[in-house]
Amino acid sequence: MRQTILPIIQIALSILLVTAILLQQRGTGLGASFGGEGAVFRTKRGLEKGLFYATIGIAVLFFATAILNIALA
């Protein structure tokens, strides 16, 4: 049972991780490459900060399940 549940957890975590990464806003896009708004610095606040910390947490959980999956194989 453990061998079937770990891959399912990893797939769910990978979907959550990709979603969390894609939801994060980027202040600079291609405009910075062409000299636009390169010197603007701002801090993360509210939901953006929570999403940032959630992304780190999901990444750590994903890494831990990957190591656990290798160790139990």
pTM: 0.75
State which residues form the domain around 68: 2-24+42-72
Span 22-36, pLDDT tens digits: 998 765 555 555 555
Residues 40 and 9: their CA atoms lie apart, in Å, by: 39
- Domains identified in the chain, total number: 1
Q: Is residue 55 part of a domain?
A: yes
Q: What is the pLDDT of residue 53?
A: 95
Q: Is residue 20 part of a domain?
A: yes
Q: Is residue 29 part of a domain?
A: no
Collect all residues with Cβ–Cβ distance below 8 Å to 68 and sequence separation of at least 6.
6
Q: Is residue 37 part of a domain?
A: no
Helix (H, G, I), strand (E, B) or coil at 6: helix
